[in-house]
Amino acid sequence: MNPLGTHFQVWVGSWDPEEIRPAAEKAAAIGYDFLELPVRAPETVDGEAIARILEANGMFCTTSFIHTPDTDIASEDADIVAKGEALMYEALAKARDMGSTRLVGGFHSSLKKHDTARTPAGRQNAVDVLRRVAERAREMGIVMCLEPLNRYESNLINTGGQALEMIDEIGSDNMFVHLDSFHMNIEEASPANALRECGDRLGYVHLAENFRGYLGTGTIDFPAIFKALAEINYDGPIALEVFSAAVVDPAHSARLAIWREVWSDSEDMAGHAFKFMRDGVEAARG
């Protein structure tokens, strides 16, 4: 059975340990194995305190990272690229402090709506940085999983195929693909085929409905996704990543255009999703 987890913002808007504690307790009580926690601002994260909370609840964490425009490693500005690379090393150290063995997310470039296409020079900067960061991560025992984001959040990597191409250019066997059903629903002709294309290079999965509401209540073909995961023998983590303005912190809401309260009860959402994911995985594997 795949480890099942939730993004921490299913529960709370802040990663302060006093907010993470009840989130971990409630998630563990449902049956979840892990929480996904951000390290995009590593200086604000009390890694050791969070590690103790997770251990006390029999859980582990995965860690996610994204860039802002002033740390964009796909920029043509050498100072911005250097700042982004340095921040990624800090994020890896914080992830290690928290006991994480996976750094996931769209860390290839800044998350925002872009008005122009990326340049070849900017793309090459990202490849060069990620080649070095992947090796540092290996030394720390951390696997990196690169996430394609939809066209409204990235102008560099939008599909699983593009992620595979970039990973080939990076040339590291410590870099895998992270696929998210929300983004795939926008960018892929077939999310199931995108998963199959990644095969044993898939390292992390986010599940969300097309409108980030309750799983199974929208348009995404989850049985096809679970079937594809079974066909490629994917045994890695599967995380629920759904956001609602009722829970998510305002800055993150603005960044991701989360304007509606598509759900409001975290425990009900997480409980429903756990059963949905567990049953879907088990049914696909027979």
HEC profile for 142-166?
CEEEECCCCCCCCCCCCCHHHHHHH
238 strand-pairing partners: 4, 205
Per-residue pLDDT of the chain (286 residues; tens, 9 = 90+): 999 999 998 988 787 888 899 999 999 999 999 999 999 999 999 999 999 999 999 999 999 999 999 999 999 999 999 999 999 999 999 999 999 999 999 999 999 999 999 999 999 999 999 999 999 999 999 999 999 999 999 999 999 999 999 999 999 999 999 999 999 999 999 999 999 999 999 999 999 999 999 999 999 999 999 999 999 999 999 999 987 766 666 676 566 666 777 767 889 999 999 999 999 999 999 8
Give the distance, in angstroms, between the CA of residue 147 and the centroid of all CA atoms in the same chain.
7
Q: Which amino acid is at 191?
A: P
Instruction: Write down the pLDDT at residue 249.
Output: 66
Instruction: Write down the pLDDT at residue 248.
Output: 65
CATH (domain of 229): 3.20.20.150
Instruction: Write down the pLDDT at residue 58.
Output: 98
27 and 277 Cβ atoms separated by less than 8 Å: no
Domain of 57?
Answer: 4-285
| 101-127 CB burial, b ≥16 within 10 A, e <16 | bbbbbbbbbbbbebeeebeeebbebbb
Rounded to whole angstroms, the Cα distance separating 135 from 208 reads 31
Counting the structural domains of the chain, the total is: 1
Q: Which is it for strands 102-105 and 60-64: parallel, antiparallel or unpaired?
A: parallel
pTM of the model: 0.94
Residues annotated as part of the active site: 147, 241
